């Protein structure tokens, strides 16, 4: 959520910056400023009314002590009208503040200056590429056919149990999945991230805190009876650990990693590009989350990018990094780098990680603050990244490591799997 003070002081710059997202934000920004002015006016009137009421109450006490009951009773009538007026002002203030908050929730984060302009993923800027794309022999199979051939993932059984997008991993497929989770967590821990386990359900306040609500409400699974949401990513519960928290400057940086299953409705996703593991309703992911001092957050973002690079180097998967354009940038992000692994059998790039800096956007919603050297409360910066999302990493391994007599296991994973080939 953008800060009101920033909107008041930098209206033109914010409106211009949001054009990178292909948004004409001036009307909603003007509405925000009008509501903010109304809110402040109501607050001032309410404060004056309460102050007058308190002053008269003290005066009434003095009059009674002085034996001036008639004058005291006359003033009591005034306090009655003031109480009614303060009640009406308070109700109007609450309604205006709620309307203002709801408008602010609709405005996305301001893109970083380095974000390229653009409308779709075709306008994303490739900033790095590494790894040799293997040459597969004729007859190489996509991962969904390999899964069937070696009986390691059963998509049809998942349909029977839950529906499309809920695969069942079997045998060496399940063990490879578990190996990847353990490997990612170990690599993150070695890089200084503190491993935690978090709930897979969150309340509405948590969804609003990290910006999934109201923006992604249609993509989240909602349990109506309990008013809880299945998490779309570990980012939500991990970051919400710090909701309504004031930390010290000495606490920076705060670094966490967590494995969770993730749940996304993926409404409207159809076609060949969603086959197999390409797009699921339930999938596993290991996440890294950082809470940083504002002056250090972009240095931290660069470090997160390098960390994910090193994991992919160890897996020996060909990958590229994209800087997302304004039109493809997530609602809460100021700057995002997407990692994509090349799927040789499908002859296409598959997104496997997003690493983002949200600056103060989430912290403002979360009320996540720190005390600066002057003892003043300031908003922290939050960052997160996939390290990594498993389905498409697994798809890349199955396809790129396939041979005529089986699927080789990346060397770095063999200590975790206990086998070197699926055959």
Query: Annotated binding site for L-serine: which residue ranges?
Result: 233, 264, 287, 384
CA distance 351 to 121: 11
Give me the sign of the Cα torsion angle 243, 249, 250, 254. positive
Cα 264 from Cα 235, distance rounded (Å): 14
Q: How far apart are CA 96 and CA 204, in angstroms?
A: 21
Structure tokens at 169: 């991993």
Q: Judge contact between 277 and 395, C-beta under 8 A.
A: yes
Give the residue among 347, 339, 352, 363 at the shortest CA–CA distance from 390. Answer: 352
DSSP letter at 249 equals G
The binding site comprises: 233, 264-266, 287, 351-354, 384
Per the rule left: phi > 0, alpha: psi between -120 and 50, beta: everything else, 378 is: beta
Question: Closest Cα partner for 278 from 337, 230, 348?
Answer: 348
Q: Classify residue 151 as left (phi > 0), alpha (psi -120 to 50) or beta.
A: left
Are the CB atoms for 240 and 229 separated by under 8 Å? no
Please give the Cα distance from 49 to 45 (Å, whole number). 6
| Length of the chain, in residues | 423
Binding residues for ATP, by number, are: 264-266, 351-354
- Beta strands across the sheet bearing 194-195: 125-130, 319-323, 335-343, 348-359, 381-389, 282-292, 254-263, 194-195
20: left (phi over 0), alpha (psi -120 to 50) or beta: alpha
Rounded CA-CA distance 90/100 in Å is 15
The pair of structure tokens assigned to 65 is 């002590």
């Amino acid at each position: 959520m953008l800060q009101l003070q920033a909107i008041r002081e930098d209206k033109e710059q914010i409106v211009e910056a949001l054009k990178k997202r292909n948004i004409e934000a001036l009307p909603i920004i003007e509405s925000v400023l009008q509501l903010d002015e109304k809110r402040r006016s109501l607050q001032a009137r309410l404060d004056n009314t309460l102050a007058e009421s308190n002053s008269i109450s003290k005066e009434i006490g003095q009059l009674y002590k002085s034996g001036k009951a008639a004058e005291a009773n006359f003033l009591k009538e005034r306090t009655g009208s003031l109480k009614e007026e303060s009640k009406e002002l308070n109700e109007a203030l609450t309604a205006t503040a709620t309307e203002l908050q709801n408008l602010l929730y609709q405005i996305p984060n301001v893109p970083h200056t380095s974000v390229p302009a653009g409308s779709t993923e075709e306008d994303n800027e490739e900033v790095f590429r590494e790894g040799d794309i293997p040459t597969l022999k004729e007859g190489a199979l996509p991962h969904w056919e390999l899964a069937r051939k070696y009986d390691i993932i059963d998509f049809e059984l998942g349909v029977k149990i839950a529906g499309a997008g809920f695969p069942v991993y079997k045998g060496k497929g399940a063990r490879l999945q578990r190996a990847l989770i353990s490997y990612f967590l170990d690599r993150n821990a070695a890089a200084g991230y503190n491993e935690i386990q978090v709930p897979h359900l969150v309340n509405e306040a948590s969804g609003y805190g990290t910006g999934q609500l109201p923006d992604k409400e249609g993509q989240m699974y909602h349990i109506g009876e309990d008013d809880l949401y299945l998490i779309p990513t570990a980012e939500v519960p991990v970051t919400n650990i710090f909701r309504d928290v004031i930390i010290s400057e000495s606490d920076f940086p705060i670094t966490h990693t967590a494995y969770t299953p993730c749940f996304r409705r993926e409404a409207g996703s159809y076609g060949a590009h969603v086959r197999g593991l390409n797009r699921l309703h339930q999938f596993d992911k290991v996440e890294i989350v950082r809470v940083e001092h504002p002056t250090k957050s972009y240095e931290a973002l660069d470090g997160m990018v390098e960390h994910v690079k090193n994991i992919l180097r160890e897996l020996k998967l060909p990958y590229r990094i994209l800087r997302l354009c304004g039109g493809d940038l997530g609602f809460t992000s100021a700057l995002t780098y997407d990692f994509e692994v090349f799927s040789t059998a499908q002859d296409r790039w598959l997104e496997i990680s997003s690493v983002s800096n949200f600056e103060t956007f989430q912290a403002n919603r979360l009320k996540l603050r720190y005390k600066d050297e002057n003892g003043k409360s300031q908003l922290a910066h939050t960052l997160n990244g996939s390290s990594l999302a498993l389905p498409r990493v697994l798809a890349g391994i199955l396809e790129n490591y396939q041979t005529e007599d089986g699927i080789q296991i990346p060397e770095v994973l063999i200590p975790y799997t206990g086998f070197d080939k699926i055959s």
